[in-house]
Structure 1
Amino acid sequence: MITRLQLSGYKSIKNLDIRLESINILLGSNGVGKSNFISLFSLLRNLYQSNFQNYVEIKGGADSLLHFGRKHTSNIGIDICFGSENNDKNRFIVDIEAAQDSFILKSIDTAFKPVTNWHYNYFESNVRESNFANIRSGQAYYVNDYLQEFDVYHFHDTGDQSPMKGKCNIDDNYRLKRDGSNLAAFLYYLKKRHFKHFKRIEMTIRSIAPFFDRFDLKPNRLNEQKIQLEWKEKGFPDAYFDSYHLSDGTLRFICLATLLMQPEPPKTIIIDEPELGLHPVAVNKLASLIRKISSKSQVIVSTQSINLIDNFEPENIIVTDRKDNSSTFRRLNSDELSSWLEEYTLGDIWGKNLFGAQPYNNI
């Protein structure tokens, strides 16, 4: 898992050095920097896939990614440690330098610590796109194992044109996509190859949506290469229901349950505000799924939900604030809140503004 993250010069984050645990719930109001922290993993994903320059252009160029733009910042520094608990074993180090309205990857290095000292390997320098994903030897082999799974899951788009509502290729089932666009194909794969996990997902959905009976997944009769999310409602075995008949919250929860209950989840699961549109009962169930999956996958979540944080320990919560025009990140400590926790929940304490994570005011 990621054990330590150091970041400089990125968006609202001037300098960051934080240790990560199995569960990391980023708590804060709008505009304090939660989404910027989460978006770093999208940047790394595109860098890894040799799509870095296109990503920078889509995001508005170098000025939009540098801390207060090129006039104030010239480089983005990323240093990620991987290991177990407090044992840092591998590092991925990137220095990104502004060049006109884009960037040059000034250096991409790795490091390995067998006992006490770090041993560095230098892979690439002064390139526009990285070839790191194709390096399958030495230290890059171990680091690649983590980088290839960095994805930010974002199931917010549930409108009529949402990709998760339409038909998808039935063979597009290697992994659940970050926007849920292959949800039907992935669930169909689980039904055929991991039936116990599939039935557990159905049971979990029924626990928050009593009208739901089961999925009715099968290839499209007119084009067997396509599949769509179809299901049955209790008491209406002959009626037809698809994703357009689901509420936004139920559809999002199906995506979340599928992501967190699959048999071989990603090593790192990153979700941006998963509580949006969910009933409080569904939020509590989501928290339970996060706690369970954290025994084998690291979870990083951004949230503004009182209901969600009430399900976790203070040490699971990273308070996100703004100070001196920069985002700050601080993990809570049970000892510091012990007297308050005797009578109040974490959500209550947050509402009393006793540990920050409140709306940013720089006046």
Structure 2
Amino acid sequence: MPKLDRIRISGYKSIRDLDVPLKNQNILIGANGAGKSNIISLFSLLNQMAEGRLRYAVGKAGGLRSILYYGPTKTRHIDIELAFGEIGYACSWEMAEDDGIIFREERAGFLDHGSDERPYGQPAGRQDGQQDDRKPSPDFLESGHRETKLITFAKEPHPEPDWQVSRQLLSSMKSWRAYHFNDTGADSPIKAIEQINDNMYLRSNGSNLAPFLYYLKKVHEEQYNRIRDMVRLIFPRFDDFNLRPMVENTTLIRLEWRERDSDYPFLAHQLSDSILRFICLATVLLQPNPPDLILIDEPELGLHPSAIQVLAALIGSASHRTQVIVATQSAVILDRFEPEDVIVVDRLNGETTARRLDTDELESWLSEYSLSELWEMNIFGGKSSP
């Protein structure tokens, strides 16, 4: 599946209309409240849609009226367009009579770059204008439904390219992961006892960190060793994880670790919150089979500057294997990347805006200042207004 080249969003939360080109490395910078988290949350919503849980996810967010741009009196629907090379997907959501969510329209297929009016193909039908009794092409995936029709079309055993597009889109969006490791307190799911076979992928909140690391140690030892070595780099007392099925129930496992020159097993709650968060982030960025898209919101929170340096390098390395979107306010992370990797997010007149930096525009400044210094000076935006 080609990488996601562009996303267009309108009517969602603080986003009135946003058109963002994407690369493998995408560093979102901006002040608090600019809308970085809103951009990332939309990808999470699309992931839930691909899993057939759109209604649940929207309901949990407070209903569609809660995520419409300035509410239903100002905005009637949310429109989304995605471009993956020559493959396109578009959908539009509006409120149903019961305050739930309904699709105004949904389309998928090969992009028609020669037409701005219908970029994702026309509804199926005969060229003479008469109704066709064949099954509809997935170019037009119908309207009035409450969950994506990609799931329905992906199940159809048709070999034609248009039908395969639905499968590819669904598979890619299902793999997207927006990771949040802010909950590292006493009751954090990362510290809980988990099923040892919950290891297909690292969950967004890190709750299955122990079984996932156990799986990596057994099946992908090279990647496991790299994760361990990164933890040693920022926490020199750390020797290794102590991963083993629980004696009283071998279907369960919990996160344990040990120090250098000791065989005493420590538990996850004996790690600092920042170290535990770094372990999760290193696991995300070094996992052997990453999702098609990794999204991380402010990964630098709580980390020591030296750990952020390592984290920035891991983000850059991961982007060679998959697509990464990181929202940050870290000068350390910003300086690790080129201007073309950076998307400046601002809030202007109440709406979120985003634009990618251009090295040529900043050439005279970059000869004397670092990218983070220019950001602090508010040369290209992304800072709070005075």
> Normalising TM by the smaller chain, what interval?
over 0.9
Say whether the 8 Å CA contact 2:37–2:297 is kept in structure 1.
yes
Describe the SS at the equivalent of 1:152.
Answer: strand
Q: Please give the alpha-carbon distance, in whole angstroms, between the structure 2 residues aligned to 1:47 and 1:299.
A: 20
Amino acid at match of 2:26: N
Amino acid at match of 2:144: N
- What CA RMSD, in Å, does the superposition of the two structures yield over aligned residues? 1.6
Gaps of 5+ in 2: 122-138
Among 83, 88, 92, the alignment partner of 2:89 is 92
Q: Is residue 269 of structure 1 aligned with residue 284 of structure 2?
A: no
Question: Could you tell me which residue of structure 1 aligns to residue 12 of structure 2?
Answer: 10
Say whether the 8 Å CA contact 1:96–1:103 is kept in structure 2.
yes
Quick one: structure 1 residues 81 and 61, their matched pair in 2 at CA, closer, same or farther if it must change by over 3 Å? Answer: same
Q: Please give the alpha-carbon distance, in whole angstroms, between the structure 1 residues aligned to 2:112 and 2:63.
A: 39
Q: Please give the alpha-carbon distance, in whole angstroms, between the structure 1 residues aligned to 2:63 and 2:268.
A: 37
Among 79, 103, 115, the alignment partner of 2:81 is 79
Q: How much identity, in percent, do the aligned residues show? A: 44
Please identify the structure whose Cα radius of gyration is greater: 2
Question: Could you tell me which residue of structure 1 aligns to residue 246 of structure 2?
Answer: 220
Amino acid at match of 2:36: K
Q: Please give the alpha-carbon distance, in whole angstroms, between the structure 1 residues aligned to 2:189 and 2:151.
A: 28
Amino acid at match of 1:104: I
Q: Is residue 125 of structure 1 aligned with residue 139 of structure 2?
A: no
Among 355, 369, 379, the alignment partner of 1:354 is 379
**Paired residues, what number?**
355
TM-score (norm. length: structure 2): 0.89
Residue correspondence of structure 1 range 44-55 to structure 2 within 5 A: 44-55=46-57
Say whether the 8 Å CA contact 1:107–1:125 is kept in structure 2.
yes
Say whether the 8 Å CA contact 2:93–2:103 is kept in structure 1.
yes
- Of 133-142 and 57-66, the range deviating more from structure 2: 133-142
Say whether the 8 Å CA contact 2:191–2:269 is kept in structure 1.
yes
**1:331 Cα offset (Å):** 0.6
**1:113 Cα offset (Å):** 3.8
Gaps of 5+ in 1: 84-88
Amino acid at match of 1:253: F
Among 149, 172, 176, the alignment partner of 1:146 is 172
Q: Please give the alpha-carbon distance, in whole angstroms, between the structure 2 residues aligned to 1:216 and 1:312.
A: 35
Question: Could you tell me which residue of structure 1 aligns to residue 337 of structure 2?
Answer: 312
Describe the SS at the equivalent of 1:347.
Answer: helix
Question: Could you tell me which residue of structure 1 aligns to residue 100 of structure 2?
Answer: 102
Say whether the 8 Å CA contact 2:90–2:120 is kept in structure 1.
no
Question: Could you tell me which residue of structure 1 aligns to residue 126 of structure 2?
Answer: none
Describe the SS at the equivalent of 1:122.
Answer: coil
Question: Could you tell me which residue of structure 2 aligns to residue 86 of structure 1?
Answer: none
Say whether the 8 Å CA contact 2:199–2:212 is kept in structure 1.
yes
Q: Please give the alpha-carbon distance, in whole angstroms, between the structure 1 residues aligned to 2:55 and 2:103.
A: 10
TM-superposition CA deviations, 1:136-192 (whole Å, max 9, x none): 251202212211112211111100110001111000000000000000000000000
- Of 134-143 and 342-351, the range deviating more from structure 2: 134-143
Say whether the 8 Å CA contact 1:219–1:226 is kept in structure 2.
yes
